[in-house]
A and B are shown apart, each in its own frame.
Chain A
Amino acid sequence: MTAPPDDCLARNEWICGEYLSTRRQILLDAVVQHLQLTSLSVLIALVVAVPLAVLARRWGWAAGPVLALTTVLYTIPSLAMFSLLLPVYGLSPSLVVAGLVLYSLTLLVRNILAGLRAVPEDTRQAARGMGYGPIRLLLTVELPLALPAAMAGLRIATVSAVSLVTIGAIVGFGGLGNLIYTGMNTYFKAQVLTASVLCVVIAVAADLLLLGVQRVLTPWERATRAARP
């Protein structure tokens, strides 16, 4: 019988290069799952949130109930949210996505609505005076002006989603959360630390990416800032 190898894996150290090289595929799969779950749910939430916010802006009476409902949804803890949706979706990735959509929706509707409301009435009147119809007004004036607030909401929603995906480990679809969960049960320090750090790296990278997108989409922001004395 050969003696067990005396490397950092055997010593169960927090930081372990051996772990990175031997489990590269597992880590890669987890990161891919993490990214898929996050991006899919944020995208679905965005597609649902924009019309909701626009409708709530158009009909004042709808704003109250929409905001109240989203607040209530946001209050429900994530573990409970995933569990409540269990009878509907079963143990599947859709369960995690559905829960994350509900959370992201809350943040997005709130921010887009705030952005739309902040569009100055003068601007709206001016566009109307120039002969803009309601659709054209919305698409070319109101939505672009609401963009900074909407992007702020999108960034918060994305960063939160990245960290919430880990809770999906309870149903087996938590991306890097799965590695943290199994690492906890087997007392595997390197796996827990590596997966946690990767989570934060993904969140920060996503945030920077969205910040870049925001800068590209709102060139006038930079122009006005530069013009200011």
Chain B
Amino acid sequence: MKTLGDAWSWLTDSAHWAGDDGIWHRLTQHLVLTVVCLLLSCLIALPVALVLGHLGKGGALAVNISNVGRAVPTFAVLVLLLLTPLGTWGEGPTVVALVLFAVPPLLTNAYVGMRGVDRSVVQAARGMGMTGGQMLWRVELPLALPLVLSGIRIAAVQLVATATIAALAGGGGLGRIITAGFNLASTPQVVAGAILVAVFALLVEGAFEVAERCAPGWARNRGRAG
């Protein structure tokens, strides 16, 4: 209990919020990193998944990439990238590692969503004389959207978690408060940082949950893949 009280007083000390090591700065870093990487990985994963799903090819590849992604420790990839020439380029290793880990859930969910579209609906669209592109945009994508969106949600939450680990390898973000706490042997700071990170992750998950509830019925989550 005493530790929690100490962590609370650490959090409420305004000196810990300002400055380059302050909570506001770390929070902004975390948010920017997450958003930039989410956009980047969507740009990479979604076009590939949608086209492969439309053509019905490469399904095993999409699912296997997702499984392999789980077996590779994020931390190891981060450190490996850090030791390559990329490491001299500021946040480079962090961004690359984050994108690598956000792509598999996006790819798998979008692919599975596209393949899950009722074949008879697709055939009806073809019967109506739609071209491949029209079918993709106006029939398959809207129907696959719930799974695509749940892939984005999984990727976003995973990005928040991974951006935390980046601090272990000297990157920015909220995790930095925890690692700094370890270096100072200050348990209150470690716990305070952990609370901040946990609350941030839960807020992101919560925001997606709310967005999903408010979405029109057809865009709502029917289930998850991967």
Q: Which residue of B lies closest to A160 (CB)?
A: B70
B127 CB to nearest chain A CB (Å): 31
Q: Which of A75, A78, A163, A164 contacts B205 (CB 8 A)?
A: A75
Contact with A along B178-215 (1 / 0, CB 8 A): 11011000010011011101100110010000000000
Which of B16-24, B71-79, B113-121, B128-136 touches A?
B71-79
| A196 proximal to B (CB < 8 A) | yes
- The answer to whether B179 and A180 have CB atoms under 8 Å apart is no
Which of B45-53, B141-149, B156-164 touches A?
B156-164
Q: Which residue of A lies closest to B162 (CB)?
A: A77
Contact with A along B155-180 (1 / 0, CB 8 A): 00100111011011100000100110
Chain A positions 169-190 with a Cβ under 8 Å from a chain B Cβ: 169-171, 177, 180-181, 183-184, 187, 189
- The answer to whether B201 and A83 have CB atoms under 8 Å apart is no
Q: Assuming A86-B187, A204-B71, is B197 touching A79 (CB within 8 A)?
A: yes
- The answer to whether B79 and A192 have CB atoms under 8 Å apart is yes
| B83 proximal to A (CB < 8 A) | yes
B19 CB to nearest chain A CB (Å): 21
Q: Assuming A167-B75, A199-B76, A207-B71, is B83 touching A187 (CB within 8 A)?
A: yes
| A84 proximal to B (CB < 8 A) | yes
| A72 proximal to B (CB < 8 A) | yes
Q: Which residue of B lies closest to A181 (CB)?
A: B168
Q: Which residues of A contact B98 (CB under 8 A)?
A: none
A58 CB to nearest chain B CB (Å): 24
Give the CA-CA distance A187 to B165 in the complex, in Å.
18
Q: Which residues of B contact A166 (CB under 8 A)?
A: 73, 75-76
- The answer to whether A184 and B205 have CB atoms under 8 Å apart is no
Q: How many interface residues does B have (CB within 8 Å)?
A: 40
- The answer to whether A83 and B76 have CB atoms under 8 Å apart is no
Q: Which residue of B lies closest to A79 (CB)?
A: B164
A73 CB to nearest chain B CB (Å): 10
B174 CB to nearest chain A CB (Å): 8
Q: Assuming A160-B70, A204-B71, is B191 touching A87 (CB within 8 A)?
A: yes
B38 CB to nearest chain A CB (Å): 16
Binding site for B on A (CB under 8 A): 71-72, 75-81, 83-84, 86-87, 156, 159-160, 162-164, 166-167, 169-171, 177, 180-181, 183-184, 187, 189, 192-193, 195-196, 199-200, 203-204, 207
Additional 13 contacts, C-beta under 8 A, given A83-B178, A86-B191, A166-B76:
A77-B165, A77-B175, A77-B198, A78-B161, A87-B4, A162-B73, A163-B70, A163-B71, A163-B73, A164-B73, A167-B168, A169-B168, A170-B178
A sample of 26 cross-chain residue pairs with beta-carbon separation below 8 angstroms, ordered by A number, consists of: A75-B201, A76-B198, A77-B160, A77-B165, A77-B201, A78-B164, A79-B165, A79-B167, A79-B168, A84-B191, A86-B194, A87-B4, A160-B70, A163-B75, A166-B75, A166-B76, A167-B75, A170-B178, A177-B75, A180-B73, A180-B76, A184-B82, A196-B77, A196-B79, A200-B73, A207-B71
Binding site for A on B (CB under 8 A): 3-4, 67, 70-77, 79-80, 82-83, 157, 160-162, 164-165, 167-169, 175, 178-179, 181-182, 187, 190-191, 193-195, 197-198, 201-202, 205
